[in-house]
């Protein structure tokens, strides 16, 4: 993402001529510094008004030769971000949350001292509580 942000800053800073709602030029407000460019690319990655506020002024700006390059840049960036990288981050987070919440049956024992049967499967502490059983972690 940083490489694309640098590319966006140096390629498009002077080419955008449209004004934003705050009266600033799109080029200087969205791509004027490295941090502004990084924030703009993050905004585009989230999908929040990326085409109307960020891409279209560059594609349909005063320099028509740059429109094809800007179009290719933003379409490839959005495909990469939305189809691949965001889904990978979500999958990793879901996997971490899923494995963290699963208790291990061998770590618990019943109140009478007998270990739970591993062939039965893992017993959730919530299910055991609902059945009136008390599970203690094995030491």
Please report, for the domain that includes residue 79, its CATH number: 1.10.287.70
At 106-123, the pLDDT tens digits run 555 544 455 455 545 555
Are residues 112 and 95 part of one domain? Answer: no
At 36-59, the pLDDT tens digits run 888 888 888 888 888 877 888 778
The answer to whether the CB of 108 falls within 8 A of the CB of 138 is yes
Helix ranges, 1-50 (H): 2-12, 26-31, 34-46
Residue 24: how many other CB atoms lie within 10 Å:
12
Band of the pLDDT at 14, cuts 50, 70, 90? very low
* Model confidence pTM above 0.75: no
Are residues 80 and 34 part of one domain? Answer: yes
Are residues 18 and 84 part of one domain? Answer: yes
Percent with pLDDT over 90 in the chain: 0
**What is the domain count for the chain?**
2
Phi, psi of 108 (to 5 degrees): -115, 150
Range of the domain at 89: 2-100
Are residues 52 and 14 part of one domain? Answer: yes
Are residues 73 and 123 part of one domain? Answer: no
Are residues 127 and 94 part of one domain? Answer: no
pLDDT of residue 107: 54
Spatial separation of the C-alpha atoms in residues 90 and 110, rounded to whole Å:
37
* 54 three-class SS: helix
Are residues 116 and 92 part of one domain? Answer: no
Are residues 83 and 20 part of one domain? Answer: yes
At 57-77, the pLDDT tens digits run 778 876 677 788 888 888 898
Q: What is the DSSP letter of 81?
A: I
Spatial separation of the C-alpha atoms in residues 134 and 125, rounded to whole Å:
8
């Amino acid at each position: 993402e940083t490489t694309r942000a640098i590319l966006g800053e140096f390629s498009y800073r002077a080419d955008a001529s449209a004004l934003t709602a705050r009266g600033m030029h799109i080029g200087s407000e969205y791509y004027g510094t490295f941090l502004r460019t990084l924030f703009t690319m993050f905004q585009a990655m989230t999908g929040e008004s990326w085409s109307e506020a960020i891409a279209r002024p560059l594609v349909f700006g005063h320099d028509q030769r740059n429109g094809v390059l800007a179009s290719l840049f933003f379409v490839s960036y959005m495909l990469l971000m939305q189809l691949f990288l965001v889904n990978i981050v979500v999958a990793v987070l879901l996997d971490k949350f899923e494995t963290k919440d699963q208790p291990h049956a061998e770590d618990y024992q019943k109140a009478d001292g007998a270990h739970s049967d591993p062939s039965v499967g893992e017993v959730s502490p919530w299910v055991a509580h609902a059945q009136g059983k008390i599970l203690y972690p094995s030491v």
